[in-house]
Structure 1
C-alpha cells in the first residue's frame, strides 16, 4: 500500500507521488469510511447541541409550570391592621400577575413563630410563602424558636420599611435628640418610654435608649401603638419609638413631636427629621421592615420569578400611594440584598439584646 508507506517520507519531506494509485482507486477504497465518519460526526453533534437555547430565570420557571396551583401567604398577624392590609394588597396583585389565587392565611400567636414554623416545614416548591417583619430577627434572642431564620428560609424580597421615630410629648421643651437624652439622664424619674409589643424593635430601642442610666427610666407597656399614643396624649408616657402611621395625625395637630428617626437615612415620610446617627447616637441603624420569604431550598429560578413580580408590584403608583398613606416606605428589593440585611441586622439586634441584658443583670 504505497499511500501508507509514504507517510514516513511525508514527515521527512521526501514524498514520491509517482507511486500513488489512480484517483478512482483511492475514492473506491476511502469514500465509504469517510461517509460513515461524517454521519457519525453529525449524530454526535446533534446529541451535544441542545435543540433550543438554554432557559434560565423566569423563563425556566414558566417551563416548569410554576405556579401550578393556588398559593398561600402565611401572615403572623390577625386580620385587620396595617400589616394584614399590606399582605392582602400583595396577595391581590400577585394573584393577578401569577395567574393563580393567592390566599392570605392568618396565623397569629407565639410572637410570629407559629406562622414561621408553618412555612419552615412547608414544601420548597414556592407555593407557600411567609409575610413577616423584622421582629423575626429579634425573637431568637428572647426565647427558643422552632426554626433558624438563616437556615430554614429563603429570602425573596423586602417590600416596605417602617421607620421608627423618636416621638415625645409636644408639651415638653426638647427639640433635638441631644436635648432629650440630656434631660433624661439628668432626671430619669421624670420621664418614661412606652411601647406596644414586647420584643418588637420599638421595645428594644426603648430599652437600649435607657441602658446605663442610674435609677432607671420607667418603661410602660401598652396594648399596641394606638394605646401608647393615647397614653402620651394623656401625659402618662413621655416618649416612644413609634411608626409614622401611629403618630402622624397627632404630629400634625401639635400633640406630639418628632425629634429623630432610626435607620441609616432620613425617612421620606418626614425628611426634615434627622436620623439618630446624625445626632450622635449610635446603635439605631437596624430598620423595621416587612418582607416575603420562602422555605429553604426553594429553587433559585422560582425565587427570582417571585422577586421580579414583587418588584413590579412595588413599582406601581397605586401601591406606593397606599403604603405611604399607611405610614410605610415602599422598598424595591432583591433576594441577595434581603439576605445581606438579615445577616447584618440579626447581628445588630443581638448586640442590642446583649447590651440590654447586661445592663439589667443585678
Structure 2
C-alpha cells in the first residue's frame, strides 16, 4: 500500500511518470480498495479464535474411595459409559485417604479444561465442619451433575417392639441408656444423623463405631446395638426374615427402594431432609460449554435402563440432574449439614 500511496501522490503532484507506471498504479489501487475489509487485514489465528475440540485427549475421573466398593463400582460404570460417548479413554484414578480431601485437592488444583473430574459424595460438604480442608467446595469446584442418591433408613433390631419412628424416639428418650446407635464411617451422613438423633440427651445414648456399614449390620443382628442409619442394600436381605426393621427414611421424599416406608419428616421428625448423594464435579472455571456437554452425557447415562437397574441393585436411587440443580443442592445442603454438626456437637435441641 505504501507504494500505491507514493505513486498516487506523485501523480497528483503532476510528476511526469511513464504511462505504463501510471497504469499499474491505477490497477493496484483499484484491486486493493475493491477487496473486503476481512481480506485486506487477516489477523493471525489464536487459540481463542479456533473452535473448541472437547475432549482433546484421555480423561481422568478422580475417586476418593478404594477400589472394590460400591462407590468405586459406580465410578467405573460411569467412566465406561462416558468413554463410549465421548470417544476417549476415561480412566478411574483411585485416591483414597484423608476422608476424601486428597482426591478433592487433586481436582481443585487441576486444569479447568474438563479433562480431570471428581466423583465424590455428600461427605465433602460435611468434612469442612470437622477439620480444615485445602479447598472451598463452592469456590474451587464446578458442579456437573449428581448421578444417584443413597437414601438412609432408620433401621432397628427386629426383636424390638417399635413399629414407627415416633415409638422409637419416645422409647429412647424415656430410657436412653437402654438403646444405642451404630455407624460405620466417622463424619458420614449416617454418623451425623445418629449424632443428631440423640441431641439433647446429654450423650446418654451410646454411639458405637464399627468398621464399615457391613459391620454395623452384624452388630445389629447380634443385638449389640439397637439402631442405625443404613443404606437399603446393606439391610435388605435381613428384612424378609424379620431380623431387622425399617422405621423411616431420610430425605424429602419416600424411596422407590421401599416406598411403603414413610420419611422421618412425615412422622413429625424434622432435620433429616439432606440427602446422601454421589456426583461429578469439575475444577472451578471449567467452561460452561464443557460442563453442559458432560451434564448432558451423564443425564443420558443415568437414563439407561441397565444403569438404573445396577444403581438400584446397589441401594441407590438414579438421579437425572443439571449443573444448576446440583449447585443449588450443594449450597443448601452445606448449610443443613453444618447446622446438624453444630447441634449434634453441642447437644442442644434444635
TM-score by length of 1: 0.83
Q: Does 1:126 align with 2:114?
A: yes
CA distance in 2, matches of 1:107, 1:215: 35
Which 4+ stretches in 1 moved above 4 angstroms?
Answer: 42-47
Match of 2:224 among 202, 225, 236: 236
CA distance in 2, matches of 1:201, 1:252: 26
Kindly state the Cα deviation for residue 46 of structure 1 after the two structures are TM-superposed.
10
5 Å-filtered alignment, 1:323-334, equals 323-334=311-322
Could you tell me which residue of structure 2 aligns to residue 87 of structure 1? 75
Cα deviation digits, residues 285-314 of structure 1 (max 9, x gap) = 000000000000000000000000000000
Structure 2 residue runs without a partner (length 5+): 1-29, 41-47
SS at match of 2:282: strand
Could you tell me which residue of structure 2 aligns to residue 285 of structure 1? 273
Structure 1 residue runs without a partner (length 5+): 1-35, 48-59
5 Å-filtered alignment, 1:264-343, equals 264-343=252-331
CA distance in 1, matches of 2:240, 2:338: 35
SS at match of 1:253: coil
Kindly state the Cα deviation for residue 252 of structure 1 after the two structures are TM-superposed.
2.3
Kindly state the Cα deviation for residue 216 of structure 1 after the two structures are TM-superposed.
1.4
5 Å-filtered alignment, 1:73-112, equals 73-112=61-100
CA distance in 2, matches of 1:252, 1:122: 47
SS at match of 2:111: coil
5 Å-filtered alignment, 1:38-117, equals 43=36, 63-117=51-105
TM-score by length of 2: 0.85
Could you tell me which residue of structure 1 aligns to residue 7 of structure 2? none
SS at match of 2:137: coil
Could you tell me which residue of structure 1 aligns to residue 156 of structure 2? 168
CA distance in 1, matches of 2:118, 2:144: 10
Kindly state the Cα deviation for residue 67 of structure 1 after the two structures are TM-superposed.
0.5
Could you tell me which residue of structure 1 aligns to residue 17 of structure 2? none
SS at match of 2:194: helix
Q: Retained in 2: the 8 A contact 1:78–1:108? A: yes
Could you tell me which residue of structure 2 aligns to residue 16 of structure 1? none
Could you tell me which residue of structure 2 aligns to residue 256 of structure 1? 244
Q: Retained in 1: the 8 A contact 2:201–2:347? A: no
Aligned residues: 309
Q: Retained in 2: the 8 A contact 1:264–1:285? A: yes
Higher Rg of the two aligned structures: 1
Cα deviation digits, residues 298-352 of structure 1 (max 9, x gap) = 0000000000000000000000001111110000000000000000000000101
CA distance in 2, matches of 1:78, 1:204: 22
Q: Retained in 1: the 8 A contact 2:203–2:347? A: no
CA distance in 1, matches of 2:239, 2:124: 29
Q: Retained in 1: the 8 A contact 2:180–2:205? A: yes
